[in-house]
Structure 1
Amino acid sequence: YLGNDNKPEISYADLKALLGKSQNLLLIDVRTKEEVDKGRIPGSIHIPVNTVEEALAMEPEEFKSKYGVTKPPLDTPELVFHCQMGKRGATATSKALEAGYLNACNYAGGYKEWFEKEGK
């Protein structure tokens, strides 16, 4: 999914649709522990932005034992990062793309937008 300025981004509507139907989606929340404790997108896993590079470099067994999910293959179809408002998610997405994840993208609206739409 490419956003307006060719950044790999995904919209709220697209993410919502994926969460509803995709078995392959891996949604990674890159905010701080304090932020995640206040609320999160259901189904997301928490990997703080400053540890994303390290996490993606882990052996699959180590990744699974630390995060509780299977490490995605480089060609995984749906790898989405998000933060609170988009900036850290974009950083994490860049790191994933550099690490060889072809379809990494950022949910640019972040938890802020998600909560505005879902949290009512």
Structure 2
Amino acid sequence: MREITAKELANKLNTGKSVNIIDVREDEEVAQGKIPGAHHIPLGQLPDRLDEIDKNQHYYMVCRSGGRSGRASAFLHDQGYDVTNMAGGMLDWEDDVEK
């Protein structure tokens, strides 16, 4: 599984690169703040919401610590999606968040 650090992902965002981020945390976690522009799909809903994810795009998967997003990355990879897990999750995120 491909991984990226929170700092590397923040650098991509800060240089203006277009990135697709999916946050798989639960609603109450996301309410505390998410990466600006991230699309929220709780992990348990992912199999039923694949129509919201374009197989022709690359996605960065995010959760609290990297575990759930790792499972989401493995699942999506098995379904033919191009994904990278953000290691360390939001615990390692030091940039701005949106609420």
Is TM > 0.5 for Structure 1 vs Structure 2? yes
- The alignment's TM-score, normalised by the length of structure 1, stands at 0.71
Q: 48, 56, 77: which is aligned to 1:75?
A: 56
Q: Which has the larger radius of gyration?
A: 1
Residue 43 of structure 1 aligns to which amino acid in structure 2? G
- The alignment's TM-score, normalised by the length of structure 2, stands at 0.85
SS at match of 2:21: strand
Structure 1 runs of 4+ off > 4 angstroms?
none
- Tell me which of the two structures has the higher relative contact order, counting C-alpha pairs closer than 8 angstroms and 6 or more residues apart: 2
SS at match of 1:118: coil
Q: CA offsets per residue over residues 44-87 of structure 1, 9 Å max, x none?
A: 1100001112211x2xxxx3xxxxxxx42x232x3101100010
Q: 14, 19, 29: which is aligned to 2:13?
A: 19
Unaligned runs of 5+ in 1: 1-6, 64-70
Q: 1:13 offset after TM fit, Å?
A: 2.6
Which residue matches 1:107?
A: 86
Residue 85 of structure 2 aligns to which amino acid in structure 1? N
Unaligned runs of 5+ in 2: none
For the aligned residue pairs, the C-alpha RMSD in angstroms reads 1.5
Q: 1:18 offset after TM fit, Å?
A: 2.0
SS at match of 2:61: strand
Q: 24, 34, 55: which is aligned to 1:30?
A: 24
